[in-house]
Protein backbone atom coordinates (compact mmCIF):
# COMPACT_ATOMS: atom_id res chain seq x y z
CA UNK A 1 0.00 0.00 0.00
CA UNK A 2 1.22 3.44 -0.95
CA UNK A 3 0.22 6.85 0.29
CA UNK A 4 -0.66 9.63 -2.13
CA UNK A 5 -0.28 13.22 -1.03
CA UNK A 6 0.01 15.15 -4.30
CA UNK A 7 -3.03 14.40 -6.45
CA UNK A 8 -6.37 16.12 -6.32
CA UNK A 9 -8.65 13.42 -4.96
CA UNK A 10 -12.21 12.76 -6.08
CA UNK A 11 -14.63 10.86 -3.86
CA UNK A 12 -16.50 8.24 -5.92
CA UNK A 13 -18.24 6.18 -3.22
CA UNK A 14 -18.23 4.60 0.20
CA UNK A 15 -17.31 1.09 1.37
CA UNK A 16 -20.27 -1.06 2.34
CA UNK A 17 -20.36 -4.53 3.83
CA UNK A 18 -17.96 -7.39 3.20
CA UNK A 19 -18.95 -9.89 0.52
CA UNK A 20 -17.74 -13.44 1.11
CA UNK A 21 -14.59 -14.59 2.87
CA UNK A 22 -11.80 -13.50 0.50
CA UNK A 23 -11.60 -9.76 1.16
CA UNK A 24 -14.24 -8.54 -1.28
CA UNK A 25 -16.58 -5.72 -0.27
CA UNK A 26 -19.45 -3.71 -1.67
CA UNK A 27 -19.05 -0.10 -2.78
CA UNK A 28 -21.94 2.36 -2.74
CA UNK A 29 -21.13 4.71 -5.63
CA UNK A 30 -22.08 8.37 -5.37
CA UNK A 31 -22.90 8.41 -9.11
CA UNK A 32 -24.66 5.20 -10.06
CA UNK A 33 -23.48 5.42 -13.68
CA UNK A 34 -19.81 5.96 -12.79
CA UNK A 35 -17.31 4.04 -14.90
CA UNK A 36 -14.32 5.08 -12.77
CA UNK A 37 -14.21 1.98 -10.57
CA UNK A 38 -12.13 -0.46 -12.65
CA UNK A 39 -9.54 -3.17 -12.26
CA UNK A 40 -6.03 -1.73 -12.08
CA UNK A 41 -7.11 1.69 -10.77
CA UNK A 42 -5.35 3.04 -7.70
CA UNK A 43 -7.91 3.78 -5.01
CA UNK A 44 -7.52 5.80 -1.84
CA UNK A 45 -9.57 4.85 1.21
CA UNK A 46 -10.14 7.34 4.03
CA UNK A 47 -12.18 7.77 7.17
CA UNK A 48 -14.53 10.64 6.36
CA UNK A 49 -15.55 11.23 9.98
CA UNK A 50 -12.13 12.80 10.55
CA UNK A 51 -12.38 15.17 7.59
CA UNK A 52 -14.21 18.43 7.16
CA UNK A 53 -15.78 18.41 3.71
CA UNK A 54 -17.98 21.08 2.19
CA UNK A 55 -21.11 19.75 0.52
CA UNK A 56 -20.42 19.41 -3.17
CA UNK A 57 -16.79 20.46 -2.79
CA UNK A 58 -13.93 18.51 -4.27
CA UNK A 59 -12.38 15.90 -2.04
CA UNK A 60 -9.67 17.31 0.20
CA UNK A 61 -6.19 15.90 0.74
CA UNK A 62 -6.02 13.71 3.81
CA UNK A 63 -2.28 13.46 4.36
CA UNK A 64 -1.76 16.80 6.04
CA UNK A 65 -1.32 15.66 9.65
CA UNK A 66 -2.58 12.96 11.96
CA UNK A 67 -5.05 11.85 9.29
CA UNK A 68 -2.36 9.89 7.43
CA UNK A 69 -3.03 6.86 9.62
CA UNK A 70 -6.69 6.98 8.55
CA UNK A 71 -5.94 6.72 4.80
CA UNK A 72 -4.26 4.27 2.48
CA UNK A 73 -3.91 3.50 -1.22
CA UNK A 74 -4.52 0.12 -2.81
CA UNK A 75 -4.81 -1.12 -6.37
CA UNK A 76 -8.17 -2.55 -7.42
CA UNK A 77 -7.65 -6.22 -8.32
CA UNK A 78 -11.21 -7.24 -9.25
CA UNK A 79 -14.61 -5.70 -9.89
CA UNK A 80 -17.80 -7.69 -10.25
CA UNK A 81 -21.43 -6.67 -9.95
CA UNK A 82 -24.11 -8.03 -7.66
CA UNK A 83 -27.61 -6.64 -8.30
CA UNK A 84 -26.04 -3.79 -10.31
CA UNK A 85 -23.82 -2.80 -7.35
CA UNK A 86 -20.02 -3.15 -7.51
CA UNK A 87 -18.22 -5.68 -5.34
CA UNK A 88 -14.46 -5.19 -5.40
CA UNK A 89 -11.23 -6.78 -4.18
CA UNK A 90 -8.15 -4.63 -3.54
CA UNK A 91 -4.56 -5.58 -2.84
CA UNK A 92 -3.66 -6.39 0.78
CA UNK A 93 -7.28 -6.94 1.83
CA UNK A 94 -7.45 -10.73 1.79
CA UNK A 95 -10.13 -11.82 4.26
CA UNK A 96 -13.56 -10.86 5.54
CA UNK A 97 -12.21 -9.22 8.74
CA UNK A 98 -9.91 -6.91 6.75
CA UNK A 99 -12.80 -6.00 4.43
CA UNK A 100 -15.08 -5.22 7.39
CA UNK A 101 -12.44 -2.85 8.82
CA UNK A 102 -12.88 -0.69 5.71
CA UNK A 103 -16.64 -0.36 6.14
CA UNK A 104 -17.75 3.28 6.03
CA UNK A 105 -14.51 4.54 4.48
CA UNK A 106 -14.75 6.82 1.48
CA UNK A 107 -13.31 5.58 -1.82
CA UNK A 108 -11.39 8.17 -3.84
CA UNK A 109 -9.39 8.27 -7.04
CA UNK A 110 -6.88 10.78 -8.33
CA UNK A 111 -8.40 13.41 -10.62
CA UNK A 112 -5.89 12.52 -13.33
CA UNK A 113 -7.31 8.96 -13.38
CA UNK A 114 -10.89 10.08 -14.09
CA UNK A 115 -12.18 8.66 -17.35
CA UNK A 116 -12.71 11.15 -20.15
CA UNK A 117 -16.41 11.83 -20.61
CA UNK A 118 -18.24 11.70 -23.94
CA UNK A 119 -19.08 14.94 -25.72
CA UNK A 120 -21.79 16.87 -23.87
CA UNK A 121 -21.23 15.23 -20.46
CA UNK A 122 -19.54 16.96 -17.52
CA UNK A 123 -18.15 16.10 -14.13
CA UNK A 124 -20.05 17.95 -11.39
CA UNK A 125 -16.75 19.04 -9.81
CA UNK A 126 -15.97 21.03 -12.98
CA UNK A 127 -19.30 22.86 -12.91
CA UNK A 128 -19.42 23.99 -9.28
CA UNK A 129 -19.03 27.76 -9.08
CA UNK A 130 -20.25 28.35 -12.66
CA UNK A 131 -22.53 31.29 -13.30
CA UNK A 132 -26.09 30.24 -14.17
CA UNK A 133 -27.84 32.58 -16.63
CA UNK A 134 -31.46 32.56 -17.80
CA UNK A 135 -31.45 33.17 -21.55
CA UNK A 136 -35.21 33.92 -21.57
CA UNK A 137 -34.77 37.02 -19.39
CA UNK A 138 -31.05 37.58 -20.01
CA UNK A 139 -30.42 37.84 -16.28
CA UNK A 140 -28.06 36.00 -13.98
CA UNK A 141 -29.81 33.42 -11.77
CA UNK A 142 -26.79 32.90 -9.52
CA UNK A 143 -23.87 30.52 -8.95
CA UNK A 144 -24.05 26.72 -9.05
CA UNK A 145 -23.47 25.41 -5.51
CA UNK A 146 -24.36 21.73 -5.90
CA UNK A 147 -25.97 19.16 -8.15
CA UNK A 148 -28.41 16.91 -6.32
CA UNK A 149 -28.27 13.47 -7.90
CA UNK A 150 -30.23 11.24 -5.52
CA UNK A 151 -33.52 11.95 -7.28
CA UNK A 152 -35.10 10.70 -10.52
CA UNK A 153 -33.43 13.56 -12.35
CA UNK A 154 -30.45 15.69 -11.41
CA UNK A 155 -31.29 19.07 -9.88
CA UNK A 156 -29.09 22.18 -9.96
CA UNK A 157 -28.84 24.01 -6.64
CA UNK A 158 -28.14 27.64 -7.46
CA UNK A 159 -27.36 30.38 -4.95
CA UNK A 160 -28.94 33.66 -6.08
CA UNK A 161 -27.19 37.02 -5.64
CA UNK A 162 -29.48 37.73 -2.65
CA UNK A 163 -28.43 34.45 -0.94
CA UNK A 164 -31.53 32.36 -1.66
CA UNK A 165 -31.27 28.80 -2.92
CA UNK A 166 -33.08 27.92 -6.16
CA UNK A 167 -33.53 24.36 -7.44
CA UNK A 168 -33.60 23.91 -11.22
CA UNK A 169 -34.25 20.48 -12.75
CA UNK A 170 -31.37 19.52 -15.08
CA UNK A 171 -33.68 18.41 -17.88
CA UNK A 172 -33.87 19.34 -21.56
CA UNK A 173 -36.86 21.61 -20.92
CA UNK A 174 -34.63 23.96 -18.88
CA UNK A 175 -31.00 23.27 -19.87
CA UNK A 176 -29.71 25.18 -22.91
CA UNK A 177 -25.92 24.97 -22.71
CA UNK A 178 -22.84 24.41 -20.58
CA UNK A 179 -19.51 26.10 -21.31
CA UNK A 180 -16.90 24.87 -18.81
CA UNK A 181 -14.21 27.21 -20.16
CA UNK A 182 -16.42 30.28 -19.84
CA UNK A 183 -17.71 28.94 -16.46
CA UNK A 184 -21.29 29.48 -17.70
CA UNK A 185 -24.46 27.38 -17.58
CA UNK A 186 -27.37 28.65 -19.65
CA UNK A 187 -30.92 27.74 -18.72
CA UNK A 188 -34.32 28.82 -20.05
CA UNK A 189 -36.78 29.26 -17.19
CA UNK A 190 -40.53 29.63 -17.52
CA UNK A 191 -42.04 32.96 -16.43
CA UNK A 192 -42.53 33.11 -12.67
CA UNK A 193 -40.08 30.29 -11.93
CA UNK A 194 -37.88 32.44 -9.69
CA UNK A 195 -40.72 34.18 -7.82
Number of Cβ within a 10 Å radius of residue 141: 23
Calculate the CA 47 to chain-centre distance: 16
| Position with higher pLDDT, 72 vs 165 | 165
Maximum Cα interatomic distance, the chain, rounded to a whole number of Å: 60
The domains spanning 9-113 and 124-187 adopt the same CATH topology: no
- Does CATH number 2.30.30.240 belong to domain 124-187? yes
Q: Parse the chain into domains and list their residue ranges.
A: 9-113, 124-187
Sign of CA dihedral 135, 139, 144, 147: negative
Q: Give the pLDDT confidence score for residue 66 in this predicted structure.
A: 40
* CATH class for the region spanning 9-113: mainly beta
For residue range 58-94, what is the model confidence (pLDDT) as tens digits? 334 443 434 444 788 999 999 999 988 899 999 999 9
Q: Sorting pLDDT into bands at 50, 70 and 90, what band is 5? A: very low
Average pLDDT value for residue range 113-137:
87
Q: Does 56 score more than 60 pLDDT?
A: no
User: Which secondary structure element, helix H or strand E, spans residue 99, and what is its range?
Assistant: helix 96-101
Amino acid sequence: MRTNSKSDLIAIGRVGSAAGLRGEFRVNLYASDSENLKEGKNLLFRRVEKLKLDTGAEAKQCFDSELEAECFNARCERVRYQKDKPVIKVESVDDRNAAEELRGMEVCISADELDELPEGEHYVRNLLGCTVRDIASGSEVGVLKDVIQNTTQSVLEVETPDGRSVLIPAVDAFMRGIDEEARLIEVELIPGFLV
